[in-house]
Amino acid sequence: MTGLLFVLPTVVIFAVFKFLPIAGAGAMSLTRYRLNGDVSWLGADNYTRLSSDPLFWKSLGVTATYVLIFVPLIIVVSLTGALLLNKLVRFQGTFRAVLFLPYLSSFVMAGIIWSWIFASDGPLNAALGGLGGLGPVPFLSGDQLLVLSCLALVSVWKGFGYSMLVFLAGLKALPSEVHEAARLDGANSRQAFRYVTLPLLRPVLFFVLVIETITGFQVFDTIYVMTGGGPNRASSSLIYFLYDEGFKFLDFGYASAIGMVLFAIVLVLSLVQRRFIDEKETK
């Protein structure tokens, strides 16, 4: 009972601000809900409409492509940063703070700065023109893959600091005896990382993988500021599609259905990732 009393405030907060909104969104997704309070029961009609909506499938494809670019990139950058910091003997705290600074900035500010960098008359195109005489590259208005790659790069720059610190904490917690044994057995740095460090980091890797996958599926701020879902909906993610339906067209029931589908996708992916990590650990 004492333990339950200690966790009760957190349980109440989660129930009020997490579980009840999820249940409310699920109920709203079965209705036609208008801003004036007009509610009519539709059952599964919103989900049927979703299954035949080409804009939904377009947004799902955009989101999946973005996640496939963003998640591996941020894991590689975060883990590399953590490994480099872990090797530092002096000024580790200073470098850790500097690398974490972008995470503290807002996505809106980061989007505005990077929009200027990627602009046709921005510094990046100016540098490309000066180095190789290349014409202006349409970073944010050209090919879909290029646009999503640029957006993913901005999100990685903005958010890698958090995952880097998680990896760094995991590296600090690893037993030094295991690495010493590997060195005595003749393992070089690459082999020690592959066969010792990486297997021991699997729980941390799973946590970062789940968190960054969820972050990737929830991308909105960067798209809203930098591309507005364009060009020709090439960067319109599921959350941006939800925003359009809910806050532009005021179709909250349909927007809630989009949110519930996104919730189901992230839940399934998290369970699959957990199963994959568990199978790796038992081998």
The whole-number mean pLDDT for each consecutive block of 10 residues of the chain, a chain of 283 residues, reads: 91 90 91 81 90 93 94 94 86 86 87 91 85 79 90 93 92 82 77 82 88 91 90 91 90 92 89 72 59
Query: CB neighbours of 108 closer than 8 A, spacing ≥ 6?
Result: 221, 225
**Which pLDDT belongs to residue 57?**
94
Query: CB neighbours of 181 closer than 8 A, spacing ≥ 6?
Result: none
Q: CA-based angle 73:160:217, to the nearest 5?
A: 65
100-139 pLDDT per residue, tens: 988 988 888 888 999 999 988 889 888 888 776 677 888 8
Quickly count: other Cβ atoms within 10 Å of residue 169's Cβ. 11
**Which pLDDT belongs to residue 174?**
84
- CATH number for the domain running over 53-282: 1.10.3720.10
Query: CB neighbours of 247 closer than 8 A, spacing ≥ 6?
Result: 255
Domain ranges of the chain: 53-282
Is 31 in a helix, a strand, or coil? strand
Length of the chain: 283
Contact status, residue 66 vs residue 148, Cβ threshold 8 Å: yes
**Which pLDDT belongs to residue 283?**
58
**Which pLDDT belongs to residue 281?**
60
Can you give the pTM of this predicted structure? 0.88
Interatomic CA distance for residues 109 and 225, integer angstroms: 9
Task: Record the tokens describing residue 190, joined without a space.
Answer: 């690459």
**Which pLDDT belongs to residue 158?**
92
